[in-house]
Structures are given as C-alpha cells and as structure tokens.
Structure 1
C-alpha cells in the first residue's frame, strides 16, 4: 500500500511538471506599449489641456475669493455687525461654489478619461489577444506588475507593438 502511495505521488509530480512545461507564458510591457501608441499620446495631451483649463477656472475663482476676503477683513472694523455677517455668508457661499467646481471638474475629468482611454484599451487588448493566439501563449503577464514573480518566458512586447504598428 505504501509503495502504491509513493508511486501515485510520483505520477502526480510527473504529470504536473509536464503540464506546467506545456503552458506557454509570455510577458508584455503594457506601459511601454501604451506610451508608444499615438492614440494614447493624443489622449494624454487632450486630458492635460482639459485639466489645465479647469484648474485655471478654479484658480481664478479662488483668487477672486481671496481678494474679497482680504477686502472684507480690512473693512470689517468699519462695517456694522449685520454687514459683516452678510459678507461672511457671501464668502461661505463662494467657498462652497469653489468646492462644487472642484468636484464637478473631477467628475468631468473621470468621464473624459473613460471616453478617451476606452477605445485605446480595447485596441491594446485585442492586439494582445491576437498575438497570444498566433504564438500559442496561454498566459501573458504585465512585466511591470508588482505581483509578477518570475519573468523567464518570451516577451511579447515587440509582437504587440508590431501588431499595433508602433515603435
């Protein structure tokens, strides 16, 4: 019985080693490919322009609020309590508007990123799938992933770049 168990364990080890060797695994540098794609470069530039515009609008409003705060602070001793209370409420409202602008800008940015990067991601995934099928890879792992433990298989980065027509 003991010999049968040892034999069974040996057979399992041989089968599992041969199954592991049968799998073709490759790695791919996703960030390298993405950064080489002209679509990504254009999307990044569009996102940066959008972000710069929104930040400028928010800064303009914040600067106006700071100027009002300075003015109201300087004039406060000369004003009545009711006037100061009204000015304080006005500043509070302005602060809330700035916060709403920031929140809206963040949501708009996320939406713009989703629209811009969705087709790029799909194109990249389709190319990776095509390369994997053409080369018989069962797994392609991101070479930049922190969970990546071993990188000994072939690198499919060049093949995916070629499929996309980028350098």
Structure 2
C-alpha cells in the first residue's frame, strides 16, 4: 500500500511538473513566403534567374530554327535524293532532334540548379533572421503558415513576421 501511495505521489508530482513546463513554451508563426516576397534581395535574384532562363530559351529556339531549316530543305529536295542519301539525311535529322531534346532536358536541370543556387542566399538570410528573432524573444517553436500543412494555430501563437522584417530592415 505504501509503495502504491509513493507511486501515486511521484506520478502526481511528475504530471504537475510537466504541466508547469508545458506552460513555459512560447510558440510563434511566420508566413515565410510573405517574408521572402518582401525582401529586396529576392527581386534581384529573380531578375538573374529570369535572364538566365531567357538565355536558355534563346538557345533552344536557335536549335529549333536550325532543325526546321534543315527539315524544310530535306522536304524540298527529298525526291531528288538517292535512297542512301535520303536515309542519311533522315538519320541526321533524327539525331539533330534527339540532341535538341537532350539539350532541353539538360537546360531544365541547369535552370533548376541555377534557381536554387541563386535563391539560397536569400533563403539563408531569411532563415538566419527568423532564428535570431526566435532566440532573442525566447520562442520554443516557430511554425511556417505558408506551407499549407499547419492545420491550426492558437491566438496565443505570436506572428513574428513583423519582427523578422524589422531585423532584415524591411519597412512594413
């Protein structure tokens, strides 16, 4: 009986202590997409990304124009070609089209890599500011409301977006 009473007291004290600790947590939230959109660094990064995409698109269009020109030339002269020449020209066109498709796939991968590399400093800067604000203000957790995964947050959760914007020097 004494052991049971001791266990009940320990359990009660543990639960009481746990509930006291739970009350010490400080929760915050931020819309990281809104923050990134407000950052001037994002605009310059997006301008670089757009310029890079346009240069890739220009190269793809040049390949397409070259292919179309050779294809039109082939169509106009195909009846004058011998079977061997016609087969060689068709192989050349097929190879050219395949190279253009491969180039387009590589260009898409390069674009994604360039986009990630260009946006990384902006994202890192925002992340550092969020962490600094959270630490300075004693937050235990910061949730991102822009991800669409957060199903609920209480009005006790504090929106730190204005604090982070201030840390980054962004005027409201």
The question of a shared fold, defined as TM-score above 0.5 by the shorter chain, is answered with yes
Map 1:130-145; keep pairs closer than 5 Å: 130-145=132-147
The gaps in structure 2 that reach 5 residues or longer are none
Shift of 1:137: 0.4
Aligned alpha-carbon RMSD (Å): 2.3
Rate the CA distance shift 1:21–1:76 in 2: closer, same or farther, 3 A: same
Shift of 1:123: 1.2
Rate the CA distance shift 1:18–1:145 in 2: closer, same or farther, 3 A: farther
Q: Provide the residue aligned with 1:32 in structure 2.
A: 34
Q: Provide the residue aligned with 1:56 in structure 2.
A: 58
| Partner SS, residue 144 of structure 1 | helix
| Cα distance in structure 2, aligned partners of 1:50 and 1:70 | 30
Q: Provide the residue aligned with 1:107 in structure 2.
A: 109
Shift of 1:116: 1.6
Q: Provide the residue aligned with 1:158 in structure 2.
A: 162
| Cα distance in structure 1, aligned partners of 2:5 and 2:78 | 96
Shift of 1:88: 0.9
The gaps in structure 1 that reach 5 residues or longer are none
Shift of 1:97: 2.2
Task: Indicate the larger mover: 138-147 or 104-113.
Answer: 104-113
| Cα distance in structure 2, aligned partners of 1:105 and 1:13 | 59
| Cα distance in structure 2, aligned partners of 1:121 and 1:162 | 16
Rate the CA distance shift 1:26–1:41 in 2: closer, same or farther, 3 A: same
Shift of 1:60: 2.0
